[in-house]
A = this chain, B = another copy of it.
Amino acid sequence: MKKILNTPADYVDEMLDGLVAAYPEFYRLHGDSHRVVARAQAGRAGKVGIVSGGGSGHLPIFTGYVGTGLLDACAIGDVFASPSSEQMADAIRAADQGAGVLRLYGNYGGDVMNFDMAGDLVEFDDIRCTTVLLADDVASAAPEEREKRRGVAGMVYAFKIAGAAAEAGQDLDAVTRVAQKAADAVRSVGAALSSCTVPQAGRPTFDIAEDEMEMGMGIHGEPGVWRNKLRPADAIAGEMMDRLLADMPVGQGDRVSVLVNSLGATPPEELYILYRVVKARLEGAGASIVMPLVGRYATSMEMAGVSFTLLKLDEELEGLLRAPCDCAFWRVG
């Protein structure tokens, strides 16, 4: 196992210790579960809170996006495992500034049930909660079953947009509405070249030959749409764009943002090679690209591979996307 760690059981706790030690100006641990990260300085009183949560191993997702104009708090589980309901409830309490809390996270069964349960737990605290689920991975279910799709890198856009609306003083219903609008306007697809290793498992999550790739694979190694020989960059980018645009067509005059994301090991050099094709395809369709993101925004530790995420904008979404935000991993404005 080519990982730098002490014992697998301590991986997440030590990681979070180091994170808050490195960036005390951004993050603090809240409560005593050691698995809830909140903003170092809580948001304004009366601001709608935004929480997310999910398994570890996806930095900057989820914890990294706690920050101004983004999330207020986050519950974090073991690697690729859901945090517990109690931790989620703690995150909701940390995020609450009296105006209610939006739960904004990915459509994974365990996370959904735990977050629902967390909502039941905080009813006693009189915190109003709403929920928006990200289900952006087009490879994970057919368009007719969109509600079954899993949530992947599209979360980054949803955090940004909901976070900006909350920072601007919108109320819980308004923030929830715009988060749902962003969730509806975002599509992702990924391709993996290699597995990563979950520390507690100690061996690669899946096996894949030295010259193979899997199109449509999920961020925990969930099965994709095909596995075959590694293709040239332009062919990979072309197929990924085909899949996105088939699900959400983009045309003349459309304004879109696009995230070309490394799953971890794939270096930025290769993302730029792919970005040439992404840009040509979108501009070729007559669309304008707003604030492209190219880098590591949602990862699976040392997995090699990429994902593309497309966000179709209207004036409201574009304004919120361009609004300032700040955390240790991303700053706008």
A322 nearest CB across to chain B (Å): 13
Chain B, residue nearest A14 (CB): B273
A31 within 8 A of B: no
Range of interface residues on chain A?
35 or more
Pairwise interchain contact B6-A292, C-beta atoms closer than 8 A: no
Chain B, residue nearest A294 (CB): B22
Chain B, residue nearest A260 (CB): B22
A108 within 8 A of B: no
If A267-B302, A279-B21 touch, does A273 touch B2 (CB 8 Å cutoff)?
A: no
A220 nearest CB across to chain B (Å): 15
- Which chain A residues (296-333) contact chain B, with CB distance < 8 Å? 296, 299, 301-302, 304, 306, 331
Pairwise interchain contact B5-A268, C-beta atoms closer than 8 A: no
Question: Contact partner of A15 among B193, B210, B269, CB < 8 A?
Answer: B269
A194 within 8 A of B: yes
Hey, which bits of chain A sit against chain B, CB under 8 A? 1-7, 11, 14-19, 21-22, 56-57, 59-60, 64, 193-194, 210-211, 230, 232-234, 236, 260, 264-276, 279, 292, 294, 296, 299, 301-302, 304, 306, 331
